Each structure stands twice: as structure tokens, then as C-alpha cells.
Amino acid sequence: MSFEEFETATYEIADTFPEDFFRELNGGVMVKEDCRLHPAAVDHDLFVMGEYHCDRYLGRFVVLYFGSFLRCFGHCSEDYLREKIRKVLLHEFRHHLESLAGERDLEIEDAIELSRYYARVHGPAS
């Protein structure tokens, strides 16, 4: 899938979401060509697929990273890749909606997943 096809797929999938998801998402959804390595990655093995931003100056927006998807799923079918795009978009929209509601449940779930990653990479704590 090319960058242009990825971008089109992302917007087509986002367009299927309820209008309420976009409330106060003044920056909307965007796609960057970058491959984004997670800061906690130990051996170039943990990539950021998307992010939700709530910035005082830039507002609220969702970003998906084409390069990260390509690196992790570039060998997969277009249907599989579209499903991954959908999952990441839903994840980032959940961050957005929880932010609007003053909730942090998904942030906590993400922190737990990161702890599991550390445990796999570094082994159990002694």
C-alpha cells in the first residue's frame, strides 16, 4: 500500500465513525509518512502506530504513522492493513473521548501493556 492509498484508507475509515467522535477534535485526523519508534523500545521492536494529541496551542488531533504501519504490517494484505488502521483509529479516538470526559482508563491500560513489554524484554524483576 502506498502512502496515498494509506492516507485515503485512513480517511475513509474515519468517515465511518459517529459524528460525536469528532467533537472538539479541531485538528482532525492526519497521516504522517514517519516511522515512529517508541521511546521505550529496547531493540527497534516497539513502534508507535498512532497518537492522540491534546495540545494547548495546536488543539486536539489524531496522527497515524504510515512508516510504522509499513514496517510492522507492510507484508500483510490490504484488508488486514485496513483492519489495523481501524483498530488504531478507534484506540486514538478512545483517548480523545476519555480526555473530553476527564477519564484516563486507556492511559492506564497502555501503561500496563508497556509494563508487560518491559517484563518480556528484561525478564521478571528479581
pLDDT (0 to 100) of residue 124: 65
Residue 85 cell numbers, joined = 488502521
Provide the 8-state DSSP code for 41. Answer: -
**Where do the DSSP E strands lie in the chain?**
28-32, 36-37, 47-48, 50-55, 59-65
Domain edges within the chain? 3-122
Residues with Cβ within 8 Å of 81's Cβ and at least 6 positions away in sequence, in order, are 1, 6, 9, 69, 73
Distance CA 33, CA 73 (A): 14
Residue 34 cell numbers, joined = 514517519
* CATH fold for the domain made of 3-122: Zincin-like (3.30.2010)
pTM as predicted: 0.92
* 58-100: pLDDT as tens digits: 999 999 999 999 999 999 999 999 999 999 999 999 999 999 9
